[in-house]
Amino acid sequence: MFHTTFYVRRLHSLVGLVAVGGFLLEHVITNARALGGPESLNSALAMMEAIPKPIFLGLEIFAVAVPFLFHIIYGIYICNQAKNNPGNYGYIRNWQFALQRWTAWYLLFFLIGHVVYLRIFLKAIGGEHINYALIAAHLSNPIIWVLYLIGMVAAIFHFCNGITTFCMTWGITKGPRAQTVVGVASMGLCALLSLITLAFMVSYLI
């Protein structure tokens, strides 16, 4: 018998790790160039602008938009099926289980706002080139700065915790010891990426 849910869940975790996770890492690495000043970030953004528009649009649609939509739509279904119980059971995995879903809901609205404003309103409709000055001006509003920081950290946690669940879902970490090692390593990566994110977010304010 073909178990649709079994394979869709694995595809969902694979897309989250490879496509969504890859985009997040690229986003963090590119924005970290802001630590080197406006010229450093602008040069990194110019490299992406140099990609021919048909190729860039194809990448945005098939390598970003389609995987994101699949991960989001099926993720909403998973969230609605989940029963969070961190208050009743204080184990760390239960809290991570709950946070995975809480961050998912926050990211849903955060990404809609982020994409609509920067990618559609400013770039597609307004013809603006995304650069250091534009980002710094956008983040000069303290409320937006805080919302963006929360959004980035939420995305980082969601991705890093997803590494642990991916390894369990795909049977890579079968025993408690292996799961603990991968879990600790994933949270270590989460801490590192969060610190890098905090650093470049603060740099926009200086």
pLDDT in tens, 112-147: 999 899 889 988 898 888 999 999 999 999 999 999
CA distances from 137 to 34, 111, 206 (A): 14, 19, 12
Question: Is 4-203 a CATH 1.20.1370.20 domain?
Answer: no
Averaged pLDDT of the chain: 90
DSSP structure class, residue 174? -
Residue 132: the pLDDT is: 95
Average pLDDT of 162-177?
Answer: 90
CA 33 – CA 43 distance, rounded (Å): 9
Residue 84: the pLDDT is: 60
Quickly state the pLDDT bin for 87 (edges 50, 70, 90): low
Average pLDDT of 57-78?
Answer: 92
Q: Are 188 and 179 in contact (CB under 8 A)?
A: no
Percent of the chain having pLDDT more than 90?
A: 67
Q: Which of 45-54, 83-92, 156-165 has the lowest mean pLDDT?
A: 83-92
How many other CB atoms are there within 10 angstroms of residue 130's CB atom? 17
Residue 61: the pLDDT is: 92
- The DSSP element (H or E) to which 123 belongs, if any, is none
Instruction: Say if residue 182's pLDDT is above 90.
Output: yes
CA 98 – CA 164 distance, rounded (Å): 14
Instruction: Say if residue 1's pLDDT is above 50.
Output: no
Q: Which of 56-70, 85-99, 131-145 has the lowest mean pLDDT?
A: 85-99
Residue 25: the pLDDT is: 96
Residue 118: the pLDDT is: 87
CA distances from 3 to 8, 17, 76, 162, 166 (A): 9, 22, 20, 22, 18
88 CA to centre of own chain: 29
How many other CB atoms are there within 10 angstroms of residue 105's CB atom? 13
Alpha-helical (H) ranges within the chain are 4-15, 21-32, 38-49, 53-58, 66-81, 92-114, 132-138, 142-169, 176-203
Residue 175: the pLDDT is: 86
